[in-house]
Amino acid sequence: MRKNSPNIRALKLLHSFCPSYFLLLVLKSFFAKLSPYFNLYLSAEIINEIIGTRNKDTLITLVLVTVLGNFAIAVIGGILNRVFNHKETLLYQREAQYYNTKTLTLDYDNLENPEVRQLRRKITESSKINFHGKQLLLNSIGYLVNITINAVLALILGIEMFVLMFASGFSWLIVLLACLIVGLVAFNVWYSFRQKDKMGQVSRNVSQTMIDENRIDNAIDCYNIGKDVRLYRQDKLIMKIKNYAFDLHKKAFRTMESKRYKLNIPLTVAGVLLEAIIYVFVCVYALLGAFGIGSIIKYVGFVETIAGCITSYFSVFADIKYNTPFVEDYLAYFDIPQKMYQGSLTVEKRDDNEYYVEFKDVSFKYPGAETYALRHVNIKFKVGERLAVVGMNGSGKTTFIKLMCRLYDPTEGEILLNGVNIKKYDYDEYLAVFSVVFQDFKLFSFPLGENVAAGTDYDTEKVTSSLRQSGFGERLASMPDGIKTPLYKDFDNNGVEVSGGEAQKIALARALYKNAPFIILDEPTAALDPIAEYEIYSKFNEIVGDKTAIYISHRLSSCRFCDKIAVFDNGQIVQRGSHDELVSDENGKYRELWYAQAQYYTE
Ligand code: ADP
């Protein structure tokens, strides 16, 4: 691990979530490893005493030390384990919060960006399936600590063995033993690295096939697709895709297992050989009188442990190396810059609500897109005005709103709020100026009141009046638990399923509750029945009050109450004016759209 390597960076980040985690890891590992050595050491002493002088007092002392020592180790180890588990949970919880906060605060263009979505999917899926990434890194550090403690404890015993062996005078035998052990361990290390490299690709294949299979399971699980599956009998198609993905996964898994089995044979042979050699040497030294027969177990345990530790060290480092690309992905996600948050200017809180927004020669291309979604848009409007934005599908209406709300920044030109480029404002403050109901708005499976207020602390009166204003009053009266009724059944079996039109009214109430100077409605009545639509329009002025309303629709009849209408075509504003002005322009787009729709009502 180089300095500033991704692994060091990731460890520093994880450490910041729970600083005591690593210290506790060392302590709990020490106590977990201490017990076998303690027993190994004392049982050898007891056997040597029984074979040797058989001193009763010494034997009683040794037995007492063994029993009490084991008890103390078990108690301290148990406490440390509990504290460690608690800290581990805390670390993962804080890490999840950090990760989710990153996702929730990503600049919107990155949230939509397929590469970022792919990166996020890779991180979550591979960590779920094979613990790759932060978890494998933490596990590896856990192993490293364990191995190190094991090696240190074993070495303490080992020093005693070497002193006794050298004292017995057959030092050439020690050199031979050391050479054989070093040779076999070197083979293990070399072979483990080679094996990890060879296994790397096959296990990555298995991960990918599991990710694909999981994705299909997630889709099957999603009850939103249930209707279409039943109506179009897509169950067979889905099962075919699922079986295909399952077969691929099975095949990749079998390939991995058989490769692992074949690759493991030399390691197993080397392990058995190592053990046999160690036994022979330690027994030979015991017979030569270097130490008592009881010490055989102790010293065999030591040599085996040291050899095992060396092999394990390299195996863990190979794991860390193999896991590094996953850690890099993990960090890359946090490294995605947040350019939306660079502004610091506060938005002037104006009692007179005199805000105005201006688009100055704004053009915009979606990331990766070839063509412009908006071209040379120039428009200015101030609080209190009613602006309708009309145009055919794909003409750029929603993009115009997304830019105004700074979900994206313009590719060219600038957008000003009260004469200042909106990039200069503090992002949260700027967003507070807008209430938006997008066409594809989302409600959450939370209680109704929390949906409207977008929070858990809310003003009950204000929630209720916003719901009444948006036309949800009657339905609210029939809700079993009023504004506390949960929506949908994802988290609560008593949740209420609301219709598309009802959901749209709730979304409108959410916008009204926010009470921002600008209210933007993207096809706000698309899911409403004609009567509900009429109700909303007839009291639109009352609902919107003195706010600026920007209203997007391709239903031109519903835009007539607006002071200004901007007609979008092919990413440009091609006309603007009042309904009467626009409809009288015989060559204009508005008139074409107006009559195209009007014919259905007039014929
Ligand atoms: P409207 O709201 O008028 O139906 P949009 O503003 O949604 O139109 O779309 C304008 C153009 O931008 C269309 O050509 C559409 O395909 C394209 N577009 C919209 N969203 C995206 C996106 N996230 N990525 C790439 N292109 C997009």
Closest-CA residue, ligand 1 atom 8, reads 394
366 lines ligand 1 (CB under 6 A): yes
We report the CATH number of the domain holding residue 23 as: 1.20.1560
End-to-end CA distance of the chain: give it in Å, rounded.
78
CB neighbour list of residue 403: distance below 8 Å, 6 or more residues apart: 359, 362, 364, 374, 409, 410, 415
Length of the chain: 603
DSSP of 39-88, one letter per residue?
HHHHHHHHHHHHHTT--HHHHHHHHHHHHHHHHHHHHHHHHHHHHHHHHH
Mutational test site, ligand 1, from 107, 399, 400, max ligand atoms within 8 Å of CB = 399
- Asked, for residue 222, whether it belongs to a domain, the answer is no
pLDDT for the residue numbered 1: 46
- The verdict on residue 248 lying in a domain is no
Q: Which run of H or E residues covers position 465?
A: helix 460-469
Q: Are residues 511 and 521 in the same domain?
A: no
Q: Are residues 454 and 544 in the same domain?
A: no
Give the number of the atom of ligand 1 that is nearest the alpha carbon of residue 568: 3
Predicted confidence at residue 307, as pLDDT, reads: 75
Q: Do 424 and 555 fall within a single domain? A: yes
Hey, what are 147's tokens?
A: 């191995």
- Banded model confidence at residue 4, pLDDT cuts 50, 70, 90: low
Average pLDDT over residues 433-437: 89
Say what the pLDDT of residue 384 is.
Answer: 78
What is the pLDDT, as a whole number, of residue 194? Answer: 79
Tell whether ligand 1 has an atom less than 6 A from the beta carbon of residue 404. no
Q: Residue 192: CB within 6 Å of ligand 1? A: no
When the pLDDT of each residue in the chain is averaged and rounded to a whole number, the result is 84
Does residue 602 register a pLDDT over 70? no
Residue whose Cα lies nearest atom 14 of ligand 1: it is 394
Which residue lies with its CA nearest to atom 27 of ligand 1?
A: 366
Where a domain ends, among 485, 515, 545? Answer: 515
* Two tokens, residue 542: 């009352």
Please choose from 112, 113, 374, 398 the residue to mutate so as to test ligand 1's pocket, defined by most ligand atoms within 8 A of CB. 398
| 566 shares a domain with 446 | no
User: Is 399's C-beta closer than 6 angstroms to any atom of ligand 1?
Assistant: yes
How far is Cα 277 from Cα 300, in angstroms, rounded to an integer? 10
Q: What is the pLDDT of residue 351?
A: 63
Q: Which of 309, 334, 359 is the last residue of a domain?
A: 334
Residue 569, in any domain of the structure: yes
Domain boundary among 459, 491, 515: 515
From the CB of 393, is ligand 1 less than 6 Å away? yes
Q: What percent of the chain stands above pLDDT 70? A: 94
For residue 339, tell me if it sits in a domain: no
Ramachandran assignment for 516, one of left (phi > 0), alpha (psi -120 to 50 degrees), beta (any other): beta
Asked if residue 135 has its Cβ within 6 Å of ligand 1, the reply is no
In short, whether 188's Cβ falls inside 6 Å of ligand 1 is no
Residue of higher predicted confidence among 431 and 532: 431
| DSSP-based helix, strand, coil % in the chain, nearest 5 | 65, 10, 25
Helix (H, G, I), strand (E, B) or coil at 53: coil
Q: How many angstroms separate the alpha carbon of residue 589 from the centre of ligand 1?
A: 19
pLDDT at 93: 95
> 373 CB under 6 A from ligand 1?
yes
**How many angstroms is it from 399 CA to the middle of ligand 1?**
6
Is residue 134 within 6 Å of ligand 1 at its C-beta? Answer: no
Rounded mean pLDDT, 259-287: 81
Q: Tell me the range of 153-157, 276-280, 419-423, 540-544 where mean pLDDT is highest.
A: 419-423
* Ligand 1 atom index nearest CA of 396: 6
Task: For residue 113, name the pLDDT band (cuts at 50, 70, 90).
Answer: confident
Is residue 107 located within the same domain as residue 177?
A: yes
Q: CA–CA distance from 526 to each of 171, 508, 529, 539 (Å)?
A: 92, 12, 8, 17
Please check whether residue 491 lies inside any domain of the structure. yes
Residues 298 and 397 in one domain: no
- 3 pLDDT more than 60: no
Q: Is the pLDDT score of 344 beyond 70? A: yes
Same domain (yes/no): 499, 560: no
Decide which of 243 and 347 is more confident: 243
Give the CATH number for residue 419.
3.40.50.300
Mutate to test the pocket of ligand 1, among 365, 366, 593 (most ligand atoms within 8 A of CB): 366
305 pocket-lining for ligand 1 (C-beta < 6 Å): no
For residue 59, the enclosing domain spans 9-200+263-334
In terms of domains, do 356 and 500 share one?
A: no
- Nearest CA owner, ligand 1 atom 26: 366
Between 193 and 486, the more confident residue is 486
Q: Would residue 403 count as lying in a domain? A: yes
Lowest-confidence region among 84-93, 330-339, 491-500, 501-510: 491-500
Q: Whose CA is nearest to atom 21 of ligand 1?
A: 366
Provide the 3-class DSSP secondary structure of residue 388: strand
What pLDDT shows up at residue 494? 82
Q: 13 alpha carbon to ligand 1 midpoint, in Å?
A: 38
Tell me: do 378 and 457 sit in the same domain: no
Residue with the smallest CA separation from ligand 1 atom 7 is: 398
What's the 394 CA to ligand 1 centre distance in angstroms?
Answer: 5
Is position 507 within any domain?
Answer: yes
Residue 524 has pLDDT above 90, yes or no: no
Nearest Cα to Cα of residue 103 among 91, 119, 92: 119
Q: What is the mean pLDDT of residues 539-567?
A: 79
State if residue 485 touches ligand 1 by the CB under 6 angstroms criterion: no
Mean pLDDT on 214-223: 75
Q: Nearest-5° angle of CA 375, CA 380, CA 383? A: 140
For the Cβ of 112 lying below 6 angstroms from any atom of ligand 1, the answer is yes
Q: In angstroms, rounded to a whole number, what is the distance separating the alpha carbons of residues 563 and 515?
A: 21
- Quick one: 178 and 269 in the same domain? yes
Phi-psi region of 266 (alpha: psi -120 to 50; beta: other; left: phi over 0): alpha
369 lines ligand 1 (CB under 6 A): yes
- The pLDDT of residue 129: 66
Confidence label for 353 from pLDDT (cuts 50, 70 and 90):
low
CA distance 356 to 164: 90
Is the pLDDT assigned to residue 228 strictly greater than 80?
no
Q: Are residues 178 and 49 in the same domain?
A: yes
How high is the pLDDT of residue 603? Answer: 47
pLDDT, residue 34, reads: 87
Give tens-digit pLDDT for 65-100: 999 999 999 999 999 999 999 999 999 999 999 999
From the alpha carbon of 368, which atom of ligand 1 is closest? 25
For residue 449, which of 464, 434, 469, 437 has the smallest C-alpha distance?
A: 464
Does 237 fall in a domain?
no
Scanning 222-294, the segments in alpha helix (DSSP H) are: 226-231, 235-287
Asked if residue 535 has its Cβ within 6 Å of ligand 1, the reply is no
Residue pair 472/502 in contact by the 8 Å Cβ criterion: yes
Judge whether residue 526 has pLDDT over 90. Answer: no
pLDDT of residue 94: 96
pLDDT tens digits, 127-142 = 876 688 899 999 999 9
**Centre of ligand 1 from the C-alpha of residue 401, in Å:** 11
293 phi/psi in degrees, rounded to 5: -60, -35
* Shared-domain flag, residues 505 and 522: no
Does residue 109's CB lie within 6 angstroms of at least one atom of ligand 1? no
Q: Is 295 in the pocket of ligand 1 (CB under 6 A)?
A: no
pLDDT higher than 60, residue 56: yes
pLDDT in tens, 161-202: 777 777 777 677 778 877 887 888 788 778 877 777 777 777
Residue 421 has pLDDT above 80, yes or no: yes
Residue nearest to atom 16 of ligand 1 (CA): 394
**Distance in angstroms (rounded) separating the CA atoms of residues 536 and 581:** 25
pLDDT computed for residue 601 by the predictor: 52
Residue 372 Cα to ligand 1 midpoint, Å, equals 10
Question: What is the average pLDDT across 399-425?
Answer: 92
Q: What percent of the chain has pLDDT over 90?
A: 28
Q: Which residue has the higher pLDDT, 302 or 130?
A: 302
pLDDT at 381: 83
Q: What is the number of domains present in the chain?
A: 3
